[in-house]
Amino acid sequence: MIEIEARLDELRALGLERRTSLVSGPQGPHVLLDGKPVLLLCSNNYLGLADDPRVRAAAAEAAMRWGVGAGASRLVSGTMTIHRRLEQRLAAFERRQAALLFGSGYLANTGVISALARPGDVVFSDELNHASIIDGCRLSRAEVFVYNHCDLEHLRWGIGRAEGRGALVATDGVFSMDGDVAPLAEIAELAARHRMRVLVDEAHGTGALGPGGRGAAAAAGVEEQVDVIVGTLGKALGSYGAFVACDSTMARYLVGAARTFIFSTALPPPAAAAALAALELLQERPERVHKLAANAAVLRTELEREGFDLRGARTQIVPLVIGEPGLATAICEAARRRGVFAQAIRPPTVPPMTSRLRLAVMASHREQELRTAARMLGTAARACGLPLRGAGARPLEPARPAQTRHALAAAPAQPGRREVFDVEVRAA
């Protein structure tokens, strides 16, 4: 048996040991990190609603009215009034017949995918999908075709090899570590042609993209072609929990088939009430969505001036891919000393040799402080020995994710393509 200390030593040697930092105060644009003031550039509180006075007041009032806990699964102790109100407002927001609350985005994806796909089916999953989609595919016991990131040709080829057994295409709308957006219009067209459902995880799109902040599917104009939208309450809406928006028949099915809904305690009333207040604020003040986009554009422009290669990011998520985990950690610490907190993300969250600083912009950031942060990040990177493009460096090429391979059919693979009919090893 391997001792835990030995495993810790191995993680340290690989530059993968982790620790948490103590944040004092709410998750606003500025926090005290281990007692020192920093600009927070790694929170998913995109619209700055987590510490909004109206959202706070709604949570406090709900705690006094309904208590702090839901007591049990909704199938055991019933649906509370605040849950029903929030589901109705979310369904209306997403322009769907129904919405169903889950305890987290992870629970939503694992529960829905494992309910919609069965042994013998094939699920098609982007190789950079979030870990919750990956694990949902595993739990479904269906075969899984992992297609190259946003590669429609590879997806089309895989669908052909599935010979009519395709059940579902599952994809992030906005990819959480890369900041790029799935080609949803083309995915929806392919799925419709082959009579498959489409699931889009809008965790990082809700409140950030599309008309009214409805997400990447709305931005692509394919809301009606997407069968299941998975959204989170814990990012742009500043609270905690998640939801699935779909038609009423699907919602009724998931109540009895999604194990993560059946066997999980319902969302705490304060979290539900806070999300409801945040949703109301989003609908009343859609300019927050535009402010978020403007801030993200400012940061991306300044980082490119510093010489960073942003890999085509075009959302509020901005990756600075470094490569080695130790170097990414060193740059993170150097930036912290300069007053900027941008967390280093390392394997298994991202593929080997693509460790990065994952920057996340908020609508509540000021443009000037974002410009200053970009300069501090450039200074920190150069101080740690990272050559930037402006200094004559060549951009680092990301390694491909480690994957397991299982041939769906015995026929030779298409030249230049990989047959991947199993879930990738990497955890997103």
For the segment 33-57, what is each residue's pLDDT rounded down to a tens digit? 988 999 999 999 999 999 999 999 9
* The CATH number of the domain covering residues in 22-50+286-391: 3.90.1150.10
Q: What pLDDT score does 2 carry?
A: 67
When pLDDT is cut at 50, 70 and 90, the band that residue 1 belongs to is: low
Rounded CA-CA distance 114/138 in Å is 8
**pLDDT score recorded for residue 265:** 95
How far is 348 from 109, CA to CA, in rounded Å? 19
The closest alpha carbon to 43, from 365, 314, 301, belongs to 365
What b/e sequence results for 125-148 when a residue is b if at least 16 CB atoms lie within 10 Å of its CB, and e otherwise?
Answer: bbbbbbbbbbbbbebbebbbbbbb
- pLDDT, one tens digit per residue, over 173-190 is 999 999 999 999 999 999
Q: Residues with Cβ < 8 Å from 87, sequence gap 6 or more?
A: 98, 99, 100, 101, 243
The pTM of the full predicted model, rounded to 2 decimals, is 0.88
For the beta sheet containing 355-360, the strands, ordered from the edge strand earlier in sequence to the opposite edge, are: 317-323, 355-360, 344-345
Domain range annotation of the chain? 22-50+286-391, 53-284
Degrees to nearest 5, angle at CA 301 with 297 and 306: 150
- Whether residue 281 contacts residue 54, with contact meaning beta carbons closer than 8 Å, is answered with yes
DSSP 268: P
Name the CATH topology of 53-284. Aspartate Aminotransferase; domain 2 (3.40.640)
Helices 105-116 + 131-140 axis angle, to 10: 30
With beta carbons less than 8 A apart as the criterion, state whether 54 and 353 touch: no
> Is residue 400 predicted with pLDDT exceeding 70?
no
Rounded Cα distance, 341 and 29, in Å:
10
- Cis amide linkage into residue 348, ω under 30° from 0: yes
Longest C-alpha distance within the chain, in Å?
64
Q: Pick from 26, 24, 416: which is nearest to 239 by CA?
A: 26
More confident residue, 34 or 336: 336
191 closest CA partner among 156, 143, 149 = 156
Instruction: State which of 75-79, 160-164, 203-207, 417-421 shows the largest mean pLDDT.
Output: 203-207
What is the average per-residue pLDDT within 102-116? 97
Neighbours of 184 (CB within 10 A): 25
Single-letter amino acid code for the residue at 56: R
Confidence tier at 369 by pLDDT (50, 70, 90): very high
| pLDDT reported for residue 39 | 96
What's the rounded Cα separation, in Å, for the pair 245 and 227? 8
Judged against a pLDDT cut of 50, whether residue 15 lies above it is answered with yes
Q: How far is CA 424 from CA 124, 134, 146, 234, in A?
A: 12, 7, 7, 26
CA 92 to chain centre: 23
Angstrom CA distances, 205 to 79, 180, 262, stand at 28, 11, 27
pLDDT band at 8 (very low <50, low <70, confident <90, very high): confident
The reported pLDDT for the residue numbered 399 is: 37
Catalytic positions: 176, 204, 235
Q: Check if the beta carbon of residue 300 is closer than 8 Å to that of residue 310.
A: yes
> 3-class SS at 24?
strand
Q: Residue 299 and residue 316: Cα distance in Å, rounded?
A: 9
Run of H or E residues at 153: helix 152-162
Q: In angstroms, rounded to a whole number, what is the distance separating the alpha carbons of residues 150 and 305?
A: 27
Q: Give pLDDT, residue 252.
A: 97
